[in-house]
């Protein structure tokens, strides 16, 4: 009987020890699982934080790239506007030079017309005097010599003015060629001619085939 009690007591003690061991094993297992879960959570949080940093860095880089692109575009546009302003100013100067040449040519044409009329009148006068002298058989008079000298002088004036007209025509043609080049440069830059009332010359312009349109003054 006494032995049975001892055996039962030992069995109970062993059972209790088993229960305690089982509880400790389960607790350790739970702690390990919790630790693994925490480790996974920390790793996921680290990945998310890294992804956020990368996204923020990419967004910052993109914003900087857009800012630099906008600054570059602004600088290029400012440079283009400066070039257009300079081209228009050169074109304005050429137009003024051409207009001056045209006025000079017009003045010379008026002088030539006047001299031509005077020359015709002098020739008519000389012819009348020569006819009267021939009728009476008289020799050449001082008046006739003066008239002939005047005719020769006017002819020389006409020849000189004709040379000047030719030179002015060449000068004007050269100016127009430069104007056309400047026009094309302005249009190539995507700009417009800002000179009020300016005549835009056709690229096919020739001195004998003048074609132009007028910029309406605003």
Helix (H, G, I), strand (E, B) or coil at 38: helix
**Residue 199: pLDDT over 60:** yes
Which domain range does residue 35 map to?
2-214
The predicted-structure confidence for 16-48, as pLDDT tens digits, reads as follows 676 666 676 666 777 777 788 888 888 888 888
Q: Which of 211, 191, 207 is nearest to 91 (CA)?
A: 191
d(C-alpha 115, C-alpha 159), whole Å: 11
Mean pLDDT for the chain overall: 82
Pick 30 or 206 by higher pLDDT: 30
- The answer to whether 143 touches 129, Cβ cutoff 8 Å, is yes
pLDDT digits (tens, 9 = 90+) for 148-182: 888 888 889 999 999 999 999 999 999 999 999 99
**For residues 110 and 107, what is the distance between their CA atoms, to the nearest angstrom?**
5
Residue 85: left if φ>0, alpha if ψ -120 to 50, beta else—which one? alpha
Q: Scan for tokens 């546009």, then name that residue.
A: 77
Give the model's pLDDT for residue 11.
67
Contacts for 217 with CB less than 8 Å, ≥ 6 apart: 196, 197
**What is the mean pLDDT of the segment spanning 187-210?**
79
Region 182-210 average pLDDT:
82
Q: Domain count of the chain? A: 1
| Cβ(168)–Cβ(112) below 8 Å | no
Residue 171 and residue 158: Cα distance in Å, rounded? 20
pLDDT number for residue 10: 67
Predicted confidence (pLDDT) at residue 100 exceeds the cutoff of 90: yes
């Amino acid at each position: 009987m006494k032995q049975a009690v001892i055996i039962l007591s030992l069995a109970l003690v062993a059972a209790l020890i088993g229960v305690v061991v089982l509880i400790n094993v389960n607790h350790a297992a739970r702690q390990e699982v919790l630790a693994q879960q925490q480790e996974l959570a920390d790793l996921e949080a680290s990945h998310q934080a890294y992804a956020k940093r990368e996204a923020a860095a990419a967004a910052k880089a993109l914003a900087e790239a857009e800012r630099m692109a906008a600054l570059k575009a602004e600088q290029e546009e400012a440079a283009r506007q400066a070039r257009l302003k300079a081209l228009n100013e050169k074109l304005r100067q050429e137009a003024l030079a051409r207009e001056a040449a045209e006025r000079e040519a017009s003045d010379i044409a008026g002088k030539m017309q006047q001299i031509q009329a005077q020359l015709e009148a002098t020739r008519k006068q000389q012819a009348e005097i020569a006819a009267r002298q021939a009728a009476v058989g008289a020799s050449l008079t001082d008046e006739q010599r003066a008239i002939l000298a005047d005719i020769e002088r006017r002819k020389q004036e006409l020849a000189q003015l004709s040379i000047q007209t030719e030179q002015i025509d060449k000068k004007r043609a050269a100016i127009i060629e430069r104007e056309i080049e400047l026009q094309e440069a302005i249009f190539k830059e995507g700009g417009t001619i800002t000179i009020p009332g300016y005549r835009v010359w056709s690229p096919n312009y020739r001195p004998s085939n003048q074609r132009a349109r007028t910029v309406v003054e605003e």
